[in-house]
Amino acid sequence: MNRDMLLWDETLFREPVILELDHMPEQFLHRDTQLQSLVYSLKPAIRGMRPVNCLLSGPPGTGKTTAVMKVFEMMKDHSDKVIFVKINCQMDSTRFAVISRIYRKLFNIDPPSSGVAFRKLFEKITTRLIDQEKVLVVCLDDINYLFHEGHADEVMYSMRRAHEQYPGARIGVIAIVSDTGKLYRFDPKVGSVFLPEEIDFPRYNNGELQDIISTRVRLAFYPDVVPDEVRDLIVEHVDLNGDLRLGIDLLKRSGLNAERRASRSISKEDVEKAYESSRLLHLRHSIMSLTSDERTLLELIAKGSDPRTGELYSLFHEITGLGYTRFYDMVNKLDAAQYIDASFSGKGTRGRTRILKLRYQAEDILRCLER
**Alpha-carbon span 166 to 50, nearest angstrom:** 14
Same domain? 122 vs 44: yes
Run of H or E including 190: helix 188-194
Please report whether residue 236 resides in a domain.
Answer: yes
pLDDT of residue 124: 94
Domain assignment of residue 351, given as a range = 290-369
pLDDT of residue 351: 44
The stretches in the chain having pLDDT less than 50 are 1, 181, 348-351
Backbone phi, psi, residue 275, to 5°:
-60, -35
**Closest by Cα among 241, 229, 318, 294 to 265:** 229
pLDDT of residue 347: 53
Same domain? 69 vs 164: yes
pLDDT of residue 178: 82
pLDDT of residue 371: 60
* CATH code of the domain in which 357 resides: 1.10.10.10
Please report whether residue 264 resides in a domain.
Answer: yes
Same domain? 224 vs 89: no
Same domain? 98 vs 141: yes
Same domain? 58 vs 166: yes
* CATH code of the domain in which 144 resides: 3.40.50.300
**Closest by Cα among 287, 289, 281 to 301:** 287
Same domain? 105 vs 227: no
Same domain? 196 vs 211: no
Same domain? 196 vs 264: no
**Alpha-carbon span 244 to 370, nearest angstrom:** 24
Q: Mark which of 200, 227, 259 sits at the end of a domain.
A: 200
Q: How many domains does the chain have?
A: 3
pTM, entire model: 0.86
Same domain? 91 vs 225: no
Same domain? 42 vs 162: yes
Same domain? 186 vs 277: no
The 10 Å Cβ neighbour count of residue 8 is 6
pLDDT of residue 1: 46
pLDDT of residue 184: 63
**Alpha-carbon span 365 to 347, nearest angstrom:** 28
Q: Mark which of 172, 200, 228 sits at the end of a domain.
A: 200
pLDDT of residue 350: 44
Same domain? 191 vs 47: yes
